[in-house]
Amino acid sequence: MIPKVVRGPSSKGYLKMTWDYPVYTPAVVEDSTGTTARAVRKALTREEAVKYIAGDDPRPLLILRECKVCNGTDEALLKGGADNEKTFLLSAWFHCVKLPVDVMEADHPFHNMFQQEQPEHLFVCSIDGSNHNPLESQTSRTQLWKSMHGLLDAEYTKGPKSSLKKITGLLGKLDEQDARLDILLSRQEQILEEDGPESRKLKKLNGKIAKEEAALSKLNEAVQTAYRLQLKRQADAKQAASEESR
């Protein structure tokens, strides 16, 4: 039997999807008498919707719509476990957005994000709406990863492949480090509670803890460095700015 991979708290911090839940707030209209009225809800154009959803986040978009009837891709994406770690790790290079069930109503501000005859539950696209890649509910994990990789290769100056490999390797090391530290911290807590702060056992232990904490912090820095990829749009904008200033 293959042993189950149990991730420590540090790894778990990287193995989660951070979702954004944008809500369109139309401007409140004030008439000449000073009374305010709620604007009538209406769909934005696709361009307006993409721009609003992307906001200030320059990362490509991964958009998921919730569904009353099925829970298709949502379920597969959110399902934890060792076999889905790649999805979670790749998601950090995306701005992940969850849209509500009523986005399918014609007057929902973000309705025009879904223009296919059979609206998809999940898609990835660039922040200007280009490179739209719908993922149907029949999508397998490998197809999902291929789509994610495809857009990341197009959007970042360097694809995520080698970073991903590095990060995956570092997760195992983080787990080991967490486990080591956990044992030492529990021991420290026990000594403090049972023998008090003057215990002679503490000095050596505190030194060990400091050493292991430094090692953990180094590993986390390595993960952060591996995650740092530059977006082509940002690189282009920088170059344009420097050319302009010349």
Binding of other proteins at residue 37 (CB under 8 A)? Answer: no
**What is the secondary structure of 6-48 as a DSSP string?**
---HHHHHHSS--EE-----PPPEE-TTS-EEPPPP-PPPHHH
Q: Distances in Å between the alpha carbon of 51 and those of 9, 22, 56, 119, 211?
A: 35, 12, 9, 20, 47
Q: Is 46 exposed, middle or buried (0-12, 13-18, 19+ CB in 10 A)?
A: middle
Least spacing, CB of residue 202 vs other proteins, in Å = 11
Least spacing, CB of residue 137 vs other proteins, in Å = 6
Least spacing, CB of residue 14 vs other proteins, in Å = 14
- Residues binding other proteins: number (CB under 8 A): 48
Q: Which of 29, 30, 55, 71 binds other proteins (CB under 8 A)?
A: 71
**Beta carbon nearer to other proteins, 193 or 243:** 193
Q: Which of 102, 150, 184, 202 binds other proteins (CB under 8 A)?
A: 102
Binding of other proteins at residue 225 (CB under 8 A)? Answer: no
Q: Are 61 and 128 in contact (CB under 8 A)?
A: no
Binding of other proteins at residue 107 (CB under 8 A)? Answer: no
Buried b (16+ CB within 10 A) or exposed e, 210-244: eebeeebeebbebbeebbebebebeeeeeeeeeee
Considering only the stretches 17-25, 48-56, 111-119, 152-160, report the one whose residues sit in contact with other proteins under the rule CB under 8 A: 17-25
- Give the binding site for other proteins (CB under 8 A): 2, 6, 8-9, 12, 16, 19-23, 25, 38, 66-68, 70-76, 78-80, 83, 98, 100-102, 105, 137-142, 144, 182, 186, 189, 192-197
